[in-house]
Homo-oligomer: A and B are copies of this chain.
Amino acid sequence: MQHFSFLEDHEVKRIHDASLEILAQTGLLVRNKKARDRFAEHGANVDEPNEMVRIPPEVVERYLALVPPTITLRGRDPKYDVTFPRKLPVVATASSAPDIVDPVSGVTRRATSDDIARIAHVVNELDGFDVFSISVLADDAPDGHFNLSRFYPALKNCLKPVRTSVVNVEEAKKILKLGELVAGSPEAFWKRPFINFGYCSIVTPLTMDFDSTENLMFFAENGITAYGTVAPMGGINTPLSLPGMMTLINAEWLATMCLAQMSRAGTELIYNFLPVFADLRDGAYAPGAIEVGMMNSIVCQMARRYNVPAGGYLGLTNSKISDAQAGYEKSMSPLLGALSGVNFVVMGGLLDALMSLDFGQLAIDNEIACMIKRVREGVTFNEDTIALDDIKRIGPAGMFADAPMTLENMTTATFMPELADRDLRETWMENGSSTIHQRALNKAMAILSSPNHAALDAETDQRIKAHFQGIVAGDSTLPVGWKPFAIGGEKPQRARRQNRRSKKKMQV
């Protein structure tokens, strides 16, 4: 498989060189004294009165050589641990929307910890998602429990790697304590720390704030899995061009990389961005724009040069509803990333420029994620798959429907969607003329109606509740008043699909 790419090798090198020049000559504003001291101790030039840090090229290169080529995100159940780069991209849900589309009323409202429990349960069962980056905030969080009210319902209902940000180190310590309680003991937890953090490593342009930088150093010093996301807005805080934005944010990533490696050599990182250009007709934030996917393609080229995992916040939309705009905006940028070789894709569930989660869209995005993985699985090419003997044997005007290759692989040779409608129009109308969003919402709620394999045992849960007085309930329940859309005629062959899917798989 040959990845798509926009830039020539010498252009990638030019971005690298220009970034080094920015770091050496312009430098970064670093608000955190401990970070400035650390930079100074490790060879950077610090202008203390102006809080400026300038990093010589040889220092950048020295620490770049220390970044591991892979990263591992761990889940409560180790069978869900993911180490990447791997053949298929690792797909995570998108995170930290303030709002949710209420599945019963369809009205957008503030999200709560109960919603997080439900989303965690659904994500645990959707095969396209490898990582649960906690999708929403918890508006009902008690004082002092802001992100605890997010991590607890997430960990309680999902065995896959769970990840989100915290406000500061004090909060991170609470979350790690939660991890110890879930694991049964500090020893058990620290043997395999299954909590993953994110941080906003940079305020573009070229500024490290106090708390995020403190978090970065804390995670690195303690060997806690974490990765940063640089989230520029082109035309506002970066140049209004793709190479210009890339040059600037590459310098920023290199600076955070240095600080992470200075804090602990060998700290795992992702070369990860959420690169959005403003729509300068009216200044709108446009994460659904095609340029987000194009930037990710360039990100993949830079990450390959540095031999670090490439990540991208993709599959975002500006649409408020699950319409055709949501469909194309949420699929085109992940596909562009996938064909460019992205290793880690954040893409599931959000509408309205990261403002709200929709359960139906979450299930639709799962299907998009499966298609993107199908593409990256590639094409198995050998003498069996070119089927020359069959073609010659069956000959002109013949049929392949009963060829052994067809019979053996009939439901595995191509991707079998669960939500996409492929019925004849008449059948579709008889069954209620549903949209994919209605079918998807039914699917998500059906998961909530079925047993929760991820639920914590009562004893462990009791320990957590005893330690964190007043912690939210965190249980996944079917929303009160939910009624599925009436989609008629469950046909016999639909029921058979599940069984067929377990057959031996042949890639085509």
Contacts and interface: CB of A to CB of B under 8 A. Distances in A.
A500 interface: yes
A291 B324 contact: no
Contacts of A203: 397
Interface in A400-416: 400-401, 403, 405-406, 409-411, 413-416
A473 interface: no
Contacts of A242: 379, 385, 508
A1 B11 contact: no
A346 interface: no
A251 B506 CA distance: 24
For this chain, the copies found in one complex come to: 2
A293 B480 CA distance: 42
Contact of A387 (B244, B375, B410): B244
B497 A281 contact: yes
B416 A279 contact: yes
A279 B414 contact: yes
B320 A244 contact: no
Contacts of A267: none
Interface in A1-56: 1-8, 11, 14-15, 18, 21-22, 25-29, 52
A196 to B, nearest CB: 28
Contact of A379 (B7, B379, B382, B415): B7
B244 A324 contact: no
A280 interface: yes
A29 B281 contact: no
A380 B8 CA distance: 11
Contact of A325 (B336, B415, B419): B419
A152 interface: no
A140 B416 CA distance: 39
Contacts of A277: 413-414
A195 interface: no
- How big is the A interface, by class? 35 or more
B410 A280 contact: yes
A339 to B, nearest CB: 4
A346 to B, nearest CB: 17
A286 B247 contact: no
Contact of A247 (B8, B205, B386, B428): B386
Given A286-B422, A320-B428, A387-B239, A396 B108 contact: no
Contacts of A400: 205, 235-240
Interface stretch (A211-219, A430-438, A463-471): A430-438
Of the listed residues A4, A27, A327, A421, the one surrounded by the most CB atoms of chain B closer than 10 A to its CB is: A327
A458 interface: no
Given A243-B382, A246-B386, A280-B414, 5 more contacts: A7-B379, A205-B391, A205-B396, A290-B375, A324-B327
Closest 9 CB pairs of A and B: A327-B327, A244-B387, A324-B327, A239-B387, A241-B508, A29-B396, A328-B331, A280-B410, A4-B4
